[in-house]
Amino acid sequence: MQRVIVLLSFLTLQYNLLAQERELVSVSYGLSRLSYNDTAANSQLTDIKLRLPLYLKGKSAFSGTVGYRNLRLHHFPDEYSSPLHGIQGQAAWLYKFTQRRSLTVFVQAGLFSDMKDISKKDFRYGAGFRYRFRHSDRLSTGWGLAYARQFFGNQIIPFIDIDYSPGQKWTLSGQFPVKPQLFYHINKRISTGIELSGEAASFRLSENDRANQFLQVNQWTGLFSVVCAAARHWQIKLGAGWNFRQSFRLYEDVSSGSWTLITIPLRQKADPIQKIDKGGTNIQLSLSYKPFQ
């Protein structure tokens, strides 16, 4: 039992190093509203994650994450298939050089499609690394690079991690530039803050019905959030804000060698057969379990 507790504690540290997420279990729901051609539409995203400790020996730890995503598009054109699903697994290895320095390497793969007729074309994969350094009790930084093979081509995500507490009330943390956040802690139970989130995803459509077309979704979102400790180790988070950049683009099945920096194309890419580029409001609600927070 003691070894399990130590392993779970190390997992919490590992994911703080890997993704600055300390949840062992998390469930989130997001609602994005937009309008196009005088039509009010919305997309709804449900995300479930479970993190699992797998191995601990000496300075090394190995852990895994399994997740499920469900994207529903309401009042979109008929060409936009819905619902769309994502099932993903991630494995991460952490090595602690010292109490202040560590290296994390991770790989991931997943199935992202409408699940009507699954083939090898429905799979995406990626890998990356992070080096992290603890400067003091109040400041830790990390530098890393992630690669993802998306249906629209190759995606590169360079990032800098910051975990900084200038005082007892404030924390600045997250991955820059894709997921930074600044929070003010009113008391031990309630915090408020602002967040920025950038995301690029793609889903493959049916081979029989849609000839392996795929949908690319890009979003840059700014949020004001409130976090509340609902019960022992459980946390509820409510956020509201604006998708200041949001696109839903439908493409034919093409073998693309294009490269994208986060969500920014680095060279000319194929033209979409249909697209909706429109900002709109965003509301998010999540429930998480943090046993070692």
CA distances to 99, 190, 191 from 187, rounded to whole Å, are 29, 6, 7
Q: Using CA atoms, how far apart are residues 187 and 179, in angstroms rounded to an integer?
A: 24
Helix ranges restricted to H, the chain: 2-18, 207-210
Q: Residue 119 is part of which domain span?
A: 2-289
Task: Report pLDDT for 16.
Answer: 40
Tens of pLDDT along the chain (293 residues) come to 333 333 333 333 333 434 445 689 999 999 999 998 889 999 999 999 999 888 888 899 999 999 999 999 999 998 898 899 999 999 999 999 999 999 999 999 999 999 998 989 999 999 999 999 999 999 999 999 999 998 888 889 999 999 999 988 999 999 998 899 999 999 999 999 999 998 888 899 999 999 999 999 999 999 999 999 988 889 999 999 999 999 999 999 876 678 888 778 887 777 899 999 999 999 999 999 988 65
Question: What is the C-alpha separation between 61 and 67, in angstroms, rounded?
Answer: 20
Predicted pLDDT of residue 21? 52
DSSP string, 142-163: EEEEEEEEETTEEEEEEEEEEE
Compute the distance between CA of residue 25 and CA of residue 54 in angstroms, rounded to an integer: 15
- What CATH number is attached to the domain comprising 53? 2.40.160
User: Angle at Cα 142 formed by Cα 141 and Cα 144, nearest 5°?
Assistant: 160
Closest of 13, 17, 276, 60 to residue 159, by C-alpha = 17
Count structural domains, the chain. 1
Interatomic CA distance for residues 86 and 174, integer angstroms: 24
